[in-house]
């Protein structure tokens, strides 16, 4: 998984499965492009990402999460819940605002 933290007026966390970076998915009117400039940060293990997500949950951060492994990790960290997950062309996507 790749994680990148963008600094703005609040932290914006981009988390994606490594194999999805650079891909584009469409499903009817919904689409998502996993742009390297936004999503390609540091490649980390699940354990490392869990710690980062839990630390950033305490801050006023937003989370953009794409991919099966990334969404499962965010669920485990408590950042998102099942109701907050949508699928675009069978790819799980979740957005969270803390």
The pTM for the full model equals: 0.94
**Contacts with 40 (C-beta within 8 Å, 6 or more apart), sequence order:** 2, 4, 21
β-strand 11-16 against 85-88: which pairing, if any?
Answer: unpaired
CATH assignment at residue 21: 3.30.1860.10
Number of domains in the chain: 1
Distances (CA, A) of 19 to 33, 64, 76, 82: 13, 16, 21, 23
How does DSSP classify residue 4? E
Tokens at 8, concatenated: 């703005």
The domain of 21 spans 2-97
Which pLDDT score is estimated for 60? 81
Q: Which residue in the block uniquely carries the two structure tokens 């492994």?
A: 69
**Contacts with 57 (C-beta within 8 Å, 6 or more apart), sequence order:** 77, 78, 79, 98
For residues 47-62, give the mean pLDDT: 92
How does DSSP classify residue 37? H
For residues 59-87, give the mean pLDDT: 94
Question: Is residue 9's pLDDT more than 90?
Answer: no
**Banded pLDDT at 98 (limits 50, 70, 90):** low
């Amino acid at each position: 998984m790749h994680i990148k933290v963008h600094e703005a007026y609040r932290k914006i966390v981009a988390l994606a499965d490594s194999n999805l970076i650079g891909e584009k998915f469409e499903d009817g009117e919904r689409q998502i492009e996993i742009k390297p400039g936004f999503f390609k940060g540091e490649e980390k293990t699940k354990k490392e990402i869990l710690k980062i997500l839990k630390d950033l949950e305490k801050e006023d951060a937003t989370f953009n999460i794409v991919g099966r492994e990334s969404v499962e990790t965010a669920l485990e960290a408590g950042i998102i819940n099942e109701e907050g997950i949508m699928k675009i062309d069978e790819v799980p996507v979740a957005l969270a605002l803390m």
